[in-house]
């Protein structure tokens, strides 16, 4: 899987001003994705590879960010991986669109906080395509919606920076099994829920979601 994925994402892209896009056709094991991203980051740093947006799904698993305490892993029913990104525990699995964004911040302001806000705005615009109002919340990275009077998270963000190359990215819930979140305290926030497009009554396909991400990608890659 790793060699196949790396061969695909190492193709020449569209140049320095536009990222390359790749959508994986099968779920990608998490360790393979990490190794592929590390190699791509090295290529971006040297100018041998273009920036990349990698759309994929993972098999069911949990990842631990650099701030994740062991106490927030409640029931490890799935494999648990150290992600190296910021944040705490999160879940990945089928029905969730993971968007790994490999972005050269040397060319785009060297401002991590501004970059995260651009990722948030990207998600908000994608949700708007489906008639959903996504919102930021102070002190809580990610995007939230009001679902039957309760604040629920629909998209998570976790970023890592290496020599001003950003990687990892975001996860966007299209139609995952939301019961799988019960094995962790998602993002360290026990008092809030998790939702998805389908749980909100929007029966969008993954292809339709991908199209919306493509439509609004300039938000992320502005200089």
Active-site annotation holder among 101, 187, 197, 200: 187
What is d(CA 71, CA 130) in angstroms, rounded to the nearest whole number? 36
| Torsion angle defined by CA atoms of residues 215, 44, 119 and 85, in that order, rounded to the nearest 10 degrees | 140
Contact 168, 159 (CB under 8 A): yes
Residue found by looking up tokens 């139609």 in the block: 175
Supply the pLDDT for residue 1.
41
Radius of gyration of the chain (CA): 16
* Pick from 166, 193, 221, 223: nearest CA to 14: 221
- Residue 167 in contact with residue 100, Cβ under 8 Å? yes
Q: In which residue are the tokens 């062991």 written?
A: 70
The pLDDT, as a whole number, for residue 189 is 83
Predicted structure pTM score: 0.91
Give the Å distances, CA to CA, from 112 to 40, 53, 149, 220: 19, 18, 32, 12
- Residue 17's pLDDT is 58
**Domain count across the chain:** 1
Active site residue 125: no
pLDDT tens per residue across all 223 residues of the chain: 444 454 444 433 333 457 999 999 999 999 999 999 999 999 999 999 999 999 999 999 999 999 999 999 999 999 999 998 888 999 999 999 999 999 999 989 899 999 999 999 999 999 999 999 999 998 888 999 998 888 999 999 999 999 999 999 999 999 999 999 999 999 888 888 999 999 999 999 999 999 999 999 999 987 5
By residue range, what is the domain housing residue 44? 2-219
Question: Per-residue DSSP letters for the chain?
Answer: -HHHHHHHHTS--S-TTS-EEEE-SSPPPHHHHHHHHHHHHHHHHHTSS--EEEEE---SEEEE-TT--GGGB----S-EEE--SSSSEEEE-TTEEEEEEEEETTTTTS-HHHHHHHHHHHHHHHHHHTT---EEETTEEEEEEEETTEEEEEEEEEEEEETTEEEEEEEEESS--GGGGGGB-GGG-TTSEE--TTTTT----HHHHHHHHHHTGGGTS--
Rounded CA gap, 88 and 116, in Å?
16
| CATH number for the domain harbouring residue 209 | 3.30.930.10
């Amino acid at each position: 899987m790793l060699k196949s994925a790396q061969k695909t994402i190492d193709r020449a892209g569209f140049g320095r001003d536009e990222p390359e896009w790749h959508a994986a056709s099968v779920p990608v094991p998490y360790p393979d994705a990490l190794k592929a991203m590390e190699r791509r980051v090295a290529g971006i740093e040297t100018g041998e590879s273009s920036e990349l947006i990698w759309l994929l799904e993972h098999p069911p698993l949990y990842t631990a960010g650099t701030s994740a305490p062991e106490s927030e892993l409640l029931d490890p029913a799935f494999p648990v991986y150290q992600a190296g990104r910021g944040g705490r525990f999160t879940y990945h699995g089928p029905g969730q669109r993971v968007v790994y964004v490999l972005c050269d911040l040397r060319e785009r302001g060297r401002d991590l906080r501004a970059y995260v806000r651009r990722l948030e705005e990207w998600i908000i615009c994608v949700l708007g395509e489906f008639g959903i109002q996504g919102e930021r919340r102070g002190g809580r990275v990610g995007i939230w919606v009001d679902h039957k009077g309760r604040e629920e998270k629909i998209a998570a963000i976790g970023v890592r920076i290496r020599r001003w190359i950003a990687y990892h990215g975001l996860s966007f819930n299209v139609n995952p099994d939301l019961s799988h979140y019960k094995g962790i305290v998602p993002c360290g926030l026990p008092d809030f829920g998790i939702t998805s497009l389908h749980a909100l009554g929007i029966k969008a396909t993954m292809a339709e979601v991908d199209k919306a991400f493509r439509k609004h990608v300039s938000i992320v890659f502005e200089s």
